[in-house]
């Protein structure tokens, strides 16, 4: 792999950029692999990368039915934070944030992780109680989170409207300064390049259509649109399509897939310094390095694979944006889009083994998967390599739906955005 650096960039610039290599190859699938990852999004590619790097398992294929990073990796609002309430969630998201902090250099690919702070607003006494519960829990865990008055929130985010006479005034906020945003596409490409350089085959336009089982019932391979592939271990990381893929293995999942919308404004000069989230009025906003205001909207209420939601979801979100930031009313929506988010009953992911030996699953990230990408891939690679979960993902088992040991982040009224 040719390293990226200012030096190579200058040399290539002088040579007309003729010498750059493919960032990842486009190989034909082999007949057999040690591990097959189904799904070439950020989580799947990260899994393959860490399998190769941390566990020395390089005979790995990532099968992607479309183009890598084309699902939720490329469709989210890129918010990264770890200020989750439950210990189990805090552990995995903080694991991810720590990996994010070194990711550009780890991958030799600038993923533009920008720790500009994530601020969550309180609009009523219930919000205050809930956010303070988060602040205290996070601090004991070792995650930064601090309580701000409305005036302090305004100082941190000057566009914020803290007028006391609006319908739901801002009365305080919780701030995680280490939270931020990253460049979503670069995460997929960076992991792809890193995995490819270690021998992983990334195979696009290859859909898994079925699973092969051995006489003992264990996984023996997958059937794909590009032929059969033998493998003893399969990791399914198919996000919104997890139920569809798992159904091909005969498994039903505790998942529902909903459309989730987001939108951006036209680009403007820097005006918004951080990430602001309000679960009460449903507003999620930051500004990209390109200058677009990036705004998350809600999910539609019905199961859908259409990657398209209703107009009323976007208008509802923009009502809240204009209420909190009335100066943005004359800004314009440039582009809106939808993703398919797979949601579990407790809004927490499933990462681990399945009833079929050799088949592992990583799904159910709902509206909050992007931020977990490095951590998710890291512990899922461990799970596949060792045949047992990493301590961090052990609680995120399928079995918790039987025992009732749910990890309910909605508990303190925090939507996992």
- Residues from 230 through 259 that contact other proteins (CB under 8 A): 241, 243-244, 247, 252-257
Q: Name which of residues 73 to 132 contact other proteins (CB under 8 A).
A: 74, 87, 90-91, 101-102, 104-105, 108-110, 112-116, 123-126, 128-132
Nearer to other proteins by Cβ, of 34 and 185: the residue is: 185
DSSP 2: P
Nearer to other proteins by Cβ, of 53 and 116: the residue is: 116
Give CA–CA dist 20/402, Å, rounded.
52
Tokens of 264: 């951006």
Q: Tokens 């997958």, residue?
A: 222
State the nearest-atom distance from the C-beta of 113 to other proteins, in Å: 8
Q: Name which of residues 342 to 361 contact other proteins (CB under 8 A).
A: 342, 344-345
Please report whether residue 186 would count as binding other proteins according to CB under 8 A. yes
In angstroms, how far is the first alpha carbon of the chain from the final one?
Answer: 35
Report strand pairing: 293-299 vs 256-265: antiparallel
State the nearest-atom distance from the C-beta of 186 to other proteins, in Å: 5
Please report whether residue 406 would count as binding other proteins according to CB under 8 A. yes
Report how many residues bind other proteins under the rule CB under 8 A. 135
In degrees and rounded to multiples of 5, residue 231 shows phi and psi of -165, 145
Q: Per residue in 361-391, is it b (16+ CB within 10 Å) or e — as a string?
A: bbbbbbbbbbbbbbbbbbbbbbbbbeeebbe
Q: Calculate Rg over the CA atoms of the chain.
A: 21
Please report whether residue 318 would count as binding other proteins according to CB under 8 A. yes
Give CA–CA dist 22/204, Å, rounded.
14
Please report whether residue 335 would count as binding other proteins according to CB under 8 A. yes
State the nearest-atom distance from the C-beta of 365 to other proteins, in Å: 15
Nearer to other proteins by Cβ, of 192 and 385: the residue is: 192
Among the residue ranges 43-51, 137-145, 210-218, 377-385, the one whose residues contact other proteins (CB under 8 A): 137-145
Among the residue ranges 206-214, 338-346, 370-378, 382-390, the one whose residues contact other proteins (CB under 8 A): 338-346
Local structure of 283: helix, strand or coil: strand
- Contact status, residue 377 vs residue 357, Cβ threshold 8 Å: no
State the nearest-atom distance from the C-beta of 230 to other proteins, in Å: 26
Among 58, 59, 209, 304, binds other proteins (CB under 8 A): 304
H/E segment holding residue 321: helix 311-324
State the nearest-atom distance from the C-beta of 232 to other proteins, in Å: 26
């Amino acid at each position: 792999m040719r390293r990226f650096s200012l030096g190579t960039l200058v040399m290539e610039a002088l040579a007309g950029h003729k010498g750059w290599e493919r960032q990842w190859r486009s190989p034909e699938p082999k007949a057999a692999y040690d591990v097959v990852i189904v799904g070439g999004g950020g989580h799947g590619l990260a899994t393959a990368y860490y399998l190769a790097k941390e566990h020395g398992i390089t005979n790995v294929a990532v099968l992607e039915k479309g183009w890598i990073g084309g699902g939720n990796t490329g469709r989210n609002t890129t918010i990264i934070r770890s200020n989750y309430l439950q210990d189990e969630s805090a552990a995995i998201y903080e694991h991810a944030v720590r990996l994010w902090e070194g990711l550009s250099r780890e991958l030799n690919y600038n993923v533009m992780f920008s720790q500009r702070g994530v601020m969550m607003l309180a609009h009523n006494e219930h919000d205050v109680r809930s956010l303070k519960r988060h602040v205290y829990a996070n601090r004991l865990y070792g995650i930064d989170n601090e309580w701000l008055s409305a005036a302090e929130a305004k100082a941190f985010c000057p566009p914020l409207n803290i007028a006391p006479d609006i319908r739901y005034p801002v009365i305080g906020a919780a701030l995680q300064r280490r939270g931020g945003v990253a460049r979503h596409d670069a995460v997929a490409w960076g992991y792809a390049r890193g995995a490819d350089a270690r021998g992983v085959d990334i195979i696009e336009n290859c859909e898994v259509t079925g699973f092969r089982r051995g006489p003992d019932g264990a996984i023996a391979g997958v059937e794909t649109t590009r032929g059969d592939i033998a493998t003893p271990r399969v990791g399914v990381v198919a996000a919104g399509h997890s139920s569809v893929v798992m159904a091909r293995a005969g498994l039903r999942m505790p998942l529902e897939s909903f459309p989730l919308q987001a939108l951006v404004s036209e680009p403007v000069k820097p005006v918004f310094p951080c990430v602001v989230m309000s679960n009460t009025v449903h507003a999620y906003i930051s500004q990209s390095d390109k200058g677009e205001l990036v705004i998350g909207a809600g999910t539609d209420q019905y199961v859908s694979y259409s990657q398209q939601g209703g107009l009323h979801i976007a208008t509802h979100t923009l009502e809240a944006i204009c209420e909190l930031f009335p100066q943005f009313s004359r800004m314009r929506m440039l582009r809106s889009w939808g993703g398919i988010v797979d949601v579990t009953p407790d809004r927490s992911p499933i990462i681990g083994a399945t009833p079929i030996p050799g088949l592992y699953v990583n799904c159910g990230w709902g509206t909050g998967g992007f931020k977990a990408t490095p951590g998710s891939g890291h512990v899922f690679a461990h799970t596949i390599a060792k045949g047992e979960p990493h301590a961090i993902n052990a609680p995120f088992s399928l079995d918790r739906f039987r025992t009732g040991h749910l990890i309910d982040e909605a508990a303190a009224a925090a939507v996992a955005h």
